Amino acid sequence: MNESSSNNITQKTTEKEEINLNSSEYFINRHIGLMQFNLRVLEQALNEDYPLLERFQFLMIFNSNMDEFFEIRLAGLRRQVSFARETVSTDGMRPQDVLHILSEQIKLAMEKQYHILNDVLLPTLNRNRVRILNQQDWNKSVAKWAEEYFRNQVMPIISPIGLDPAHPFPRLVNKSLNFIVSLEGKDAFGRDSGMAIVPAPRSLPRLIRIPDELCSDGDNFVLLSSLIETHIDDLFNGMTTTGCFQFRITRDADLDLNAAEVEDIARALRGELHSRRFGSAVRLEVDEQCPEDLVSFLLDQYNLTEDELYRVDGPVNLGRMMQLTSMLDRPDLNFPPFTPSIPKQLRDKDVSMFDVMRKEDILLKYPFESFTPIIDLLRQAAKDPDVLSIKMTLYRTGASSEIVDALLESARAGKEVTVVIELRARFDEEENLQLATQLQEAGAVVTYGVVGFKTHAKALLIVRREGTQLRRYVHLGTGNYHSGNARIYTDYSLLTSDPDLSSDVHKIFQQLTGMGKAERIKKLFSAPFTLKKNLLRLIEAEAEAAREGKEAHIIIKVNALTEPKIILALYEASIAGVTIDLIIRGMCCLRPGVPGVSENIKVRSIVGRFLEHSRVYYFLNAAPHIYCASADAMERNLMHRVEICFPILSARLQARIRNDLQIYLTDNYQSWELQSDGNYILNTPGKDEYQRAAQAILLEKLAD
């Protein structure tokens, strides 16, 4: 398909009828699509086949996802409305309409969230001897301990703020736990404003273990909020507290950093990180028992309306309860542990990564296979006197990691180490700033990518002297260089010394660190230059094959599909007769199963124990058939980021990935099918079918 012609595409279905594929009826709103994904995560907390603590963790993940949803997605929509910059998206909806629909969906979802917590998970935890005790459940010994803990550990650092002209409403940090307190009487200075705010100390844990000797049966905990509410009178000596209610403000956390207008991105980013904690309010969560007058007061303080108010039946800072899972030693309540496997070529502890990579390409699939070979490659490079230079992109890795240690060792050993760090990796900005400082102090060259384009590519290039020649070794991946993520995210990872791929990666690093026109690369597709047009070309080639009567098949597995031209190309391919299977974890703006448009397209989402994160593009009639990528099929990835899409050249490895995709496509347990109306239905085994969970199959197949 010619990309320029896709702006006004029509397809004839009969001599009299035309379908305008640009019509908004063929697109699903991206924000509503993301909300649908969050709801699928919430459903995992009700899956009785999962261990109890895993279900509890899914509930906390849903809460964390919703925090980010408000901080970024809804905040962005509110900005459009506030500044009269509303634009109609491809689905035909205006931001105000989307906000209204989402507000209703979120209120129902949060009500369900607290129902699951209070009526399902906490009672089940209780039956399994894990208890979070409210004040009414404390015996005398626990009550005495709680009083001492409050006086010794909480009261010395808590700062109640009485509201009066000298003490205006405080500037409270994003997502912090706070209490609004109503008071009667006068204080020592004669003040009687009747109201105070009590911020919970951020340095204290939100969940506190009760000493075992006080509760001998099982594991028992108390919430910091319960301690404060119970002893709130102690903070207002001589006055009477008539009410104490939790609340939490969620703020706009998107950074307002116009990289084109600053001289030093790192310095500007440090300033923006501070302001993130105090962005505009987008949500008020408050105890459902809080009186209307106090709620109205809080709404006025933050310039919010009833649409942004969420009354909750439980802790307002629910995500902080995630720590419960790490405070328990209860393997019976968790998934059984597993050991990621290592390919047989790499199992010898003395094996040279370079020797193996010269002989053949190595493909890893996390978390079923280990991240260790990537660390080993960098460690060996650091110690090898023949290694001359290392170039690497880092998006999320953590300031303290074995990857970073190996880079630091290499730089200190005098090797040419160049690291492209993306400072604007959302919510990892501060850690990446620290990482940049560490590397620079060790002697590495650190750059921050390209102004206006996030560097999202995952690439490592090692140059080694071998005899009289220099040979390049490359790693390319679909996920970040983060060993923790590699235990919970599914990703592909390719180790190769292919000369063309290595040369292409070298050219991309030249573009990132230097200046000049984009060089022609042979086998890789890169955003923002060639990735989108090549995906469109491959989709069109598959459509043309179908028109010629050939078998044609496209499989795309990504985290999100929102790019309009890609969607239009897929509609055209479907109309041409191509069988299209899309495995889209989160947002999907394509509407499958529409007669005459997308009858040949199926969309499924896999939500399970691991976060599906690998990006794979398969085209039956292409050569090679399979590409893996750092990029999702989104406008930002294809046009506004530096991304790498790499071919799988080995026929053996292509067959392996194709088999993996087939496992996902036959999942009838953890997969959700997108309907043409935008809703998802959970797939279940048929009458004569066995239960097939893709992640469980891969775990059994690949892990040790």
93-121: average pLDDT:
95
Strand pairing report for 469-477 and 489-496: antiparallel
Q: What is the 3-state secondary structure (H, E, C) of 587-636?
A: CECECCCCCCCCCCEEEEEECCCCEECCEEEEECCCCCCEEEECCCECHH
Q: What is the pLDDT of residues 411-434, one digit of tens each?
A: 999 999 999 988 765 656 677 778
Q: What are phi and psi of 399, to 5 degrees?
A: -70, -20
pTM for the full predicted model: 0.92
Cα–Cα distance between 66 and 588 in angstroms, integer? Answer: 18
Q: What is the pLDDT of residues 310-328, one digit of tens each?
A: 999 999 988 889 999 999 9
Highest mean pLDDT among 6-10, 266-270, 361-365, 396-400: 361-365
Q: Do 593 and 605 meet the contact criterion of CB atoms below 8 Å apart? A: no
Cα–Cα distance between 171 and 406 in angstroms, integer? Answer: 42
Cα–Cα distance between 629 and 558 in angstroms, integer? Answer: 9
pLDDT exceeds 70 at position 395: yes
Cα–Cα distance between 648 and 240 in angstroms, integer? Answer: 71
Highest mean pLDDT among 164-173, 178-187, 424-433, 574-583: 574-583
Q: Do 40 and 32 meet the contact criterion of CB atoms below 8 Å apart? A: no
For all residues of the chain together, what is the average pLDDT?
91
Range scoring the smallest mean pLDDT among 515-519, 613-617, 619-623, 686-690: 515-519
Rounded to 10 degrees, the C-alpha dihedral 78/80/86/91 comes to -60
Cα–Cα distance between 537 and 548 in angstroms, integer? Answer: 16
pLDDT exceeds 80 at position 393: yes
Identify the pLDDT of residue 268. Answer: 52
Burial class (CB in 10 A: 0-12, 13-18, 19+), 191: middle
* Domains, the chain: 96-260+279-333 (3.30.1840.10), 344-521 (3.30.870.10), 526-702 (3.30.870.10)
Q: Do 45 and 56 meet the contact criterion of CB atoms below 8 Å apart? A: yes
Cα–Cα distance between 557 and 664 in angstroms, integer? Answer: 9
pLDDT band, residue 274 (cuts 50/70/90)? low
Q: Do 116 and 43 meet the contact criterion of CB atoms below 8 Å apart? A: no
Q: What is the pLDDT of residues 210-251, one digit of tens each?
A: 999 998 789 999 999 999 999 999 999 888 899 999 999 999
Q: What is the pLDDT of residues 542-559, one digit of tens each?
A: 999 999 999 999 999 999
Tokens 């709620």 correspond to what residue?
Answer: 295
Q: What are phi and psi of 147, to 5 degrees?
A: -65, -45
Active centre residues (catalytic): 456
pLDDT exceeds 90 at position 653: yes
